[in-house]
């Protein structure tokens, strides 16, 4: 059992029991989490699945790869902990991960 917590922009906390190997974006969309549009369906080509990784988790999740970093240029209010949620794969190592939804996408 791997737990993913998504904090919506209004502060609502959504705890999800997720499958290892699934992405944060897939779980957000499947559970109708507000604020994650994911227009490209996970191809790292839209930047509308932008999230902020919680400070406590930023090191373990790690930085974006080059293609994701380029795409993040199109996201709104990018911060040091910004990631595209379709590029974060859940695993036992990320059990308990917390991500925050930005004010808006794009």
CB-nearer residue toward ligand FES: 2 or 50: 50
Q: How far is the CB of 16 from ligand FES (least distance, A)?
A: 17
| Residue located via tokens 């790869």 | 65
Residues that bind ligand FES (CB under 6 A): 25, 38-40, 42-49, 71, 84, 86
The rounded Cα 67 to chain-centroid distance in angstroms is 16
Helices (H) and strands (E) in the chain, counts: 3, 5
Quick check: helix, strand or coil at residue 47?
coil
Q: Which lies closer to ligand FES via its Cβ, residue 40 or residue 58?
A: 40
Smallest distance, ligand FES to C-beta of residue 60, A: 20
- DSSP element (H, E) containing 71: helix 66-72
CB of 53 to ligand FES, least distance (A): 14
Phi, psi of 5 (to 5 degrees): -115, 125
Residue with tokens 């910004």: 82
Whose Cβ is closer to ligand FES: residue 51's or residue 94's? 51
CB nearer to ligand FES: pick between 42 and 57: 42
């Amino acid at each position: 059992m791997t737990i993913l917590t998504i904090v919506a922009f209004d502060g609502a906390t959504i705890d999800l029991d997720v499958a290892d190997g699934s992405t944060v974006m897939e779980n957000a969309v499947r559970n109708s989490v507000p604020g994650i549009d994911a227009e490209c369906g996970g191809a790292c080509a839209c930047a509308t699945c932008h999230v902020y990784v919680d400070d406590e988790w930023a090191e373990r999740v790690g930085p974006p790869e080059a293609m994701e970093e380029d795409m993040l240029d199109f996201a709104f209010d990018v911060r040091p902990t910004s990631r595209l949620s379709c590029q974060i794969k859940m695993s036992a190592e990320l059990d308990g991960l917390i991500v925050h939804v930005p004010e808006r996408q794009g």
